[in-house]
Amino acid sequence: MFNLDQAVTHWRRQMTAAGLQTPDVLNELEGHLREDVAARVSAGTPEADAFQLAVSRIGSPDSVGLEFNKLCSLPDGYVTVGSILWLAASATLAIFLSRGLFAGRLSLLLSAHVFTLTTGYGTALLAGLFGIFYVCCRSFRALSPAGQQGLVGAVRLANQSAMLLVALGLILGLVWSKQNLGGYLVAGPREIGTLCASLWLLTWWLIQRFGQLGDRFTMLFSIAGNMIVGMAWFGAGILADNPDLHSYGIAGVWPLALFMGFHLLFLVMGAAPGPENTETQIGG
């Protein structure tokens, strides 16, 4: 004697074994299965046959499991880790600057300028790192469509934040320059570098906001952004009168050249034709 509940339980076990572990998804699929069985039974099909037909309409556990696994958000963890590292670095910088502020070595304006500009550059570099991560994942087809969406969303958010922080840092720097050096713009390499980085981030944001920038180009722009920020931050530092100030260990030309070469490599890899994520093939 056919028992529908037992058959459904067995079918759920097969789905679970195929990787469908989420109760919400299983409940939804079970609901669909039961509706289909009920409709077929009311049309005169015996319950056992109706169940078999309904199961075959849903598809094999492996194929359904595979499609749902494509939705898993692989980079969510990486985005979280990156965000936590960013917050930790920003908090450390804030503590470091506040110590200088309270000791009277730094003014509030200068501290705010250094904080916003450094976190802005750091945020832009984080977006570039996500871009490099995307290129690596793309090469190994390790990114689900949902994961890709998450990563692209994180890069867009990072770019917008970086644009606002760098612009604010630039304005604060100009005001500080007016107060301490007698003019808003002294046309030093660091100022020009910051202006270039601001313009780049603004342009990128405008293209995203009003243009049609696909996921891959968003990621490639983020890697190219790292090169611009690298030049604006470290490259300008090399050209400045006091190159050791804010050099962060990248004082010579070679470390910067290596930095550029590393990013260029990933730009080329990302620009090359490669496997793209496939959408769910709903057609039977």
Binding site for other proteins (CB under 8 A): 24-25, 27-29, 31-32, 34-36, 38, 57-59, 63-64, 67-68, 70-71, 145-146, 149, 279-284
Smallest CA-to-CA distance from 157 within 130, 136, 137 is with: 130
Residue type, 223: I
Residue with tokens 């030093």: 188
Task: Tell me if 250 sits within 8 A of 121, measured CB to CB.
Answer: no
CB of residue 47 to other proteins, shortest distance in Å: 16
CB of residue 255 to other proteins, shortest distance in Å: 40
The tokens for 270 are 């990302």
The smaller minimum CB distance to other proteins, of residues 35 and 49, is found at 35
The tokens for 263 are 């990013």
Other C-beta atoms within 10 Å of 115: how many? 20
CB of residue 71 to other proteins, shortest distance in Å: 6
The smaller minimum CB distance to other proteins, of residues 21 and 27, is found at 27
CB of residue 23 to other proteins, shortest distance in Å: 12
Residue with tokens 């949902």: 146
The smaller minimum CB distance to other proteins, of residues 18 and 175, is found at 18
Rounded to 10°, the helix 76-102/108-139 angle is 160
CB of residue 279 to other proteins, shortest distance in Å: 7
Contacts of 173-176 with CB under 8 Å at 24 or more apart are: 173/113, 173/117, 175/109, 176/107, 176/109, 176/110, 176/113
The smaller minimum CB distance to other proteins, of residues 15 and 231, is found at 15
The smaller minimum CB distance to other proteins, of residues 249 and 284, is found at 284
CB of residue 34 to other proteins, shortest distance in Å: 7
Rounded to 10°, the helix 145-181/215-230 angle is 30
| First-residue to last-residue Cα distance in the chain | 31
The smaller minimum CB distance to other proteins, of residues 23 and 252, is found at 23
